[in-house]
């Protein structure tokens, strides 16, 4: 009897000790999970803005056009974005990653998806800024070409490499108009002309800076990658020269995926009638000058953001259709977008109720 009584006394004590150890272990794991950084990024729906309306932060038109008559447009043609949490400078915790992984509105992806290992955060941000600027330029070109106007181009300096001949002579934004007196209206013509030179030879460039032309002479240097190739040390990109001035104000949003919606907004403002028919239409997709629509990332988060904002129609790049269909929120009609011209015709068919409207599910 004595032995049984002693064991009966010890058992509650052992259970309490075990529960106490489990509680401590859970607490330790919770603390570790809350502070332990993981190399992942959490994606969520970002802001969505109406390209034919006002920027909500400034209350000014998101797209301002001067030099051509414009027409007031109704409805919405919203571009969509993806926001993220995490990154090399502010990594998310294990707990946050697990919590967001269970959230249907979020996607947890490897950090390298946004921040490649061979690039700094500053380089990624700079690249996204450039991609947005380039997207805006291309979207204007696409809209004007759709309207029967073909803008001219010029080779513009994007960056100047330190320690090479152009360093201290050329600046970002300079436009190279001619090489050795021969007109060059695009990047390929500038680079093609420079291929005729050898390291050590000099070349005269006609450059336009802030509207003023000047001539500069540079002695070409061997390329750091190929000693037999002559370079001046700049990265060039084609810049369009438009007959009108188009200003697109989106704040600090970066990336190229709003191109299609910018083009549609510009087209709608420059033409009579409405593309939307008063509907709330949103979408995404890159754009080329000849109107080709390209695939983008974060389609699920963009659709969710659009639906929450009130969109009932969403323009999906053809390359994103397969992943968009199963992730589409209820009440959002998906329209497949392959070209700017096709997207315009699809919106006109939606408005009139006549004609085929391309769908992601067909």
In a domain, 119, yes or no: no
Window from 66-75, 105-114, 178-187 with minimum mean pLDDT: 105-114
Catalytic residue among 135, 263, 279, 302: 302
Instruction: Tell me, yes or no, whether 51 and 20 share the same domain.
Output: no
Instruction: Tell me, yes or no, whether 196 and 70 share the same domain.
Output: no
Instruction: Tell me, yes or no, whether 140 and 262 share the same domain.
Output: yes
Q: Cβ of 173: how many Cβ atoms within 10 Å?
A: 12
Q: Which residues contact 34 (CB under 8 A, 6 or more apart)?
A: 93, 94, 95
Dist CA 51 CA 250 (whole Å)? 9
Instruction: Tell me, yes or no, whether 217 and 252 share the same domain.
Output: no
Instruction: Tell me, yes or no, whether 144 and 272 share the same domain.
Output: yes
Instruction: Tell me, yes or no, whether 160 and 220 share the same domain.
Output: yes
Of 199, 221, 241, the residue that ends a domain is 241
pLDDT tens column, 235-280 = 998 889 999 999 999 988 999 999 999 999 999 999 998 899 999 9
Residue 263 known to be catalytic: no
HSE value, Cβ hemisphere, 13 Å, CA-based, for 249: 13
Range 323-336 average pLDDT: 96
Higher-confidence position of 203 and 26: 203
In a domain, 39, yes or no: no
Per-chain mean pLDDT for the chain: 88
CATH code for position 348:
3.30.230.10
Smallest CA-to-CA distance from 262 within 117, 129, 141, 122 is with 141
In a domain, 137, yes or no: yes
Give SS3 for 52: coil
Catalytic residue among 139, 257, 263, 343: 257
In a domain, 357, yes or no: no
In a domain, 118, yes or no: no
In a domain, 100, yes or no: no
Helices (H), the chain: 2-35, 94-101, 121-146, 187-194, 259-270, 299-309, 321-327, 340-352
Dist CA 342 CA 318 (whole Å)? 11
Of 187, 214, 241, the residue that ends a domain is 241
Q: Is 70 exposed, middle or buried, given 0-12, 13-18 or 19+ CB atoms closer than 10 A?
A: middle
CATH code for position 217:
2.30.42.10
Instruction: Tell me, yes or no, whether 321 and 218 share the same domain.
Output: no
What's the distance, CA 101 to chain centroid?
23
Window from 106-115, 139-148, 215-224, 255-264 with minimum mean pLDDT: 106-115
Instruction: Tell me, yes or no, whether 181 and 136 share the same domain.
Output: no
The domain in which residue 64 lies consists of: 44-82+132-149+243-352
Instruction: Tell me, yes or no, whether 58 and 144 share the same domain.
Output: yes
In a domain, 314, yes or no: yes
Dist CA 174 CA 194 (whole Å)? 17
Higher-confidence position of 292 and 228: 292
Q: What is the pLDDT of residue 17?
A: 58
Instruction: Tell me, yes or no, whether 220 and 289 share the same domain.
Output: no
Smallest CA-to-CA distance from 203 within 178, 186, 239, 236 is with 178
Residue 302 known to be catalytic: yes
Q: What is the pLDDT of residue 29?
A: 46
Instruction: Tell me, yes or no, whether 265 and 307 share the same domain.
Output: yes
Dist CA 143 CA 264 (whole Å)? 7
pLDDT greater than 80 at residue 203: yes
Instruction: Tell me, yes or no, whether 63 and 201 share the same domain.
Output: no
Beta bridge partners, 283, equal 79, 315
Q: Cβ of 120: how many Cβ atoms within 10 Å?
A: 12
The CA-atom distances, in angstroms, between 32 and each of 18, 20, 29, 111 are 21, 18, 5, 20
pLDDT bucket at 36, cuts 50 / 70 / 90 = low
Q: DSSP assignment, residue 92?
A: P
Total domain count, the chain:
3
Smallest CA-to-CA distance from 216 within 166, 172, 163 is with 166
In a domain, 107, yes or no: no
């Amino acid at each position: 009897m004595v032995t049984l009584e002693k064991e009966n006394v010890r058992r509650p004590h052992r259970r309490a000790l075990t529960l106490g150890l489990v509680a401590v272990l859970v607490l330790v794991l919770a603390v570790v999970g809350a502070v332990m950084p993981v190399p992942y990024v959490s994606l969520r729906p970002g802001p969505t803005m109406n390209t034919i309306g006002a920027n909500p932060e400034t209350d000014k038109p998101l797209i301002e056009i001067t030099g051509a008559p414009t027409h007031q447009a109704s409805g919405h043609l919203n571009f969509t974005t993806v926001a993220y949490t995490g990154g090399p400078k502010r990594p998310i915790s294990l707990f946050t990653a697990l919590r967001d992984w269970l959230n249907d509105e979020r996607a947890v992806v490897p950090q390298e998806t946004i921040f490649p290992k061979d690039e700094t955060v500053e380089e990624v941000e700079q690249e996204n800024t450039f991609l947005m600027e380039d997207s805006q330029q291309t979207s204007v070109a696409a809209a004007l070409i759709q309207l029967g106007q073909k803008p001219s181009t010029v080779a513009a300096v994007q960056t100047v490499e330190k320690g090479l001949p152009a360093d201290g002579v050329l600046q970002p934004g300079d436009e190279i108009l001619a090489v050795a007196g021969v007109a060059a209206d695009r990047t390929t013509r500038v680079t093609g002309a420079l291929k005729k030179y050898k390291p050590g030879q000099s070349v005269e460039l006609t450059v336009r800076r802030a509207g003023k032309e000047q001539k500069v002479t540079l002695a070409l240097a061997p390329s750091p990658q190929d000693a037999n190739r002559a370079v001046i040390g700049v990265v060039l990109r084609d810049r369009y020269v438009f007959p009108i001035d188009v200003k697109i104000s989106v704040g600090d949003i970066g990336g190229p995926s709003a191109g299609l919606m910018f083009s549609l907004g510009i087209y709608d403002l420059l033409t009579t009638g409405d593309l939307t028919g008063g509907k709330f239409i949103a979408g995404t997709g890159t754009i080329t000058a000849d109107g080709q629509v390209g695939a983008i990332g974060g389609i699920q988060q963009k659709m969710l953001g659009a639906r929450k904002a009130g969109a009932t129609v969403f323009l999906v790049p053809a390359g994103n259709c397969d992943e968009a269909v199963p992730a589409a929120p209820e009440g959002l009609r998906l329209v497949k977008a392959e070209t700017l011209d096709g997207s315009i015709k699809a919106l006109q068919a939606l408005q009139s109720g006549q004609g085929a409207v391309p769908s992601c599910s067909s």
